[in-house]
Structure 1
Amino acid sequence: MDASPTPAAAPPPDPETAAPQRAAAPGPAAPPHPPAAPGPPVFARAPVPASRTRRLATPVGILAAVAGAFAYVGTVDPNESGHYPVCPLLKLTGLLCPGCGGLRSAHAFIHGDLGAAFAANAIATAGYFLFAAVWVLWLVRAWRGRPLRIGLAPAWWWGVGAVLLVFTVVRNLPFGSALAP
């Protein structure tokens, strides 16, 4: 017995996708019609809003990680040698990078000595306050169900890079020794 399908068993062609059967007419062929735009998905659902707990999970988790890192730095003094690795740029070239003194700054910041924190690394200390402000904004927006979107133009990023470069150069020059840790 032959297992091939018979013409009667074949499904009929879909009228929307099948090309119409026309008799060959003399003259130029008509351009083909563009395919119809697909309709909405069959199982489309409206997005389900995330619960408040789920929206707050990421900012709270980030705060927990940062608080854990600061707690460690506050407990293990970076002013004592042997606890943290030495900056590779400082070790190889003798030049201070923009992050040099950041751990000492964090240690002083944790202990409430803002003067020592700024003296160790002014940029890092300003970054702690900036992080706190952005985190509070993120938490408030997550609480209200709005996403945090901070769109900075490339000029801002170039500006941040320029500030870090100037800070690095000045702290390595004799007149900028006040910025050195």
Structure 2
Amino acid sequence: MLVTSVDRPDAQPQTDLHGEHPHGRLDAGHPSGGPAGAAQQGDWPAGYPAGYPVVESDRLTRFVTRMHARTPRWVVPLAAVGCVAAGIGYTLLSDPTRSAPDALPTCLLKLTTGLDCPGCGGTRALWYVLHADLPAAARHHFLFVFALPFLAYLFVAWAGRQAFGWRLPELRIGPKLVGGFLAAWLAFSVVRNLPWAPFTALYV
């Protein structure tokens, strides 16, 4: 373990067993053993506390940084829209309301235990939403239908900000709200598997 002593002005830079600094070569011209540029300017680069060496990024990091800087800002939102469109297209073409229970892809939990998992019915609910049948969609997965408008708004706000610089009103989603939704989802997952009326109406 290396212990850094940046609070002591007389502290010497740490070295490994071969006499080299673990983060790279230290410049002897700087009083704190910093890079040569910092020694000439008499100050550390912005963002680096005094006494810490400046670590150069590796080739992969520099390549990713260059690609990120040269990529148009609309590329990532467009790719996300493509993924959403692919999911919707698959749902429309496969018609999950007519597929067999063991058709691929299937839910392993329901196939092996007969119980609905927390996501069971979500694809069928999406199919009914796309066909404007909200009662049937809520029957298959009520929480999915409830959360869908919020998810759609968050996606549009994010994609618009990334691609066009839109500044739509932000939804304030804190840890308590997320925890409450997850608790409701867990309760829904348990209730829909109870073998008594009226809970049996939630089983899909």
Report how far residue 168 of structure 1 moved. 0.8
Does residue 180 of structure 1 match 2:194?
no
Q: Determine if contact 2:125/2:140 at 8 Å carries over to the other structure.
A: yes
Aligned ranges 1:54-69 → 2 under 5 Å: 54-69=72-87
* Unmatched runs of 5 consecutive residues or more in structure 2: 1-26, 33-38, 47-68
For 2:103 and 2:114, the matched residues in 1 are separated by 20
Partners of 1:102 and 1:14 in 2: CA distance: 64
Distance 1:125 1:84, change over 3 A: farther
Is it true that 1:76 corresponds to 2:97 in the alignment? no
For the Cα contact (< 8 Å) 1:59–1:135, is it kept in 2?
A: no
Asked if 1:156 corresponds to 2:161, the answer is no
Residues 116 and 203, structure 2, Cα contact 8 Å, conserved in 1: yes
User: Residue 203 of structure 2 aligns to which amino acid in structure 1?
Assistant: A
What is the 5 A alignment of 1:108-119?
108-119=128-139
SS of match in other structure, 2:188: helix
Query: Following superposition of structure 1 onto structure 2, how do residues 8-157 of structure 1 map, counting pairs within 5 Å?
Result: 16-17=30-31, 38-40=43-45, 54-78=72-96, 79-81=98-100, 83-142=103-162, 143-144=164-165, 152-157=173-178
Q: Is the 8 A contact 2:191 2:199 kept in 1?
A: yes
CA RMSD between the two structures: 3.4
Displacement, 1:145?
6.9
Deviations 1:50-74 (A, max 9, x none): 79x8222222211211111111111
Does the residue aligned with 1:55 lie in a helix, a strand or coil? coil
For these two proteins, the number of residue pairs brought into alignment is 143
1:21-73 CA-partner distances (Å, limit 9, x unpaired): xxxxxxxxxxxxxxx984237xxxxxxxx79x822222221121111111111
Q: Which has the larger radius of gyration?
A: 1
Identity percentage over the alignment?
33
How far residue 16 of structure 1 moved from its aligned partner, in angstroms, is 4.9
The runs of 5 or more residues in structure 1 that have no matched partner are: 1-12, 19-35, 42-49
C-alpha distance in 2 between matches for 1:89 and 1:162? 20
Indicate the residue corresponding to 2:15 in structure 1: none
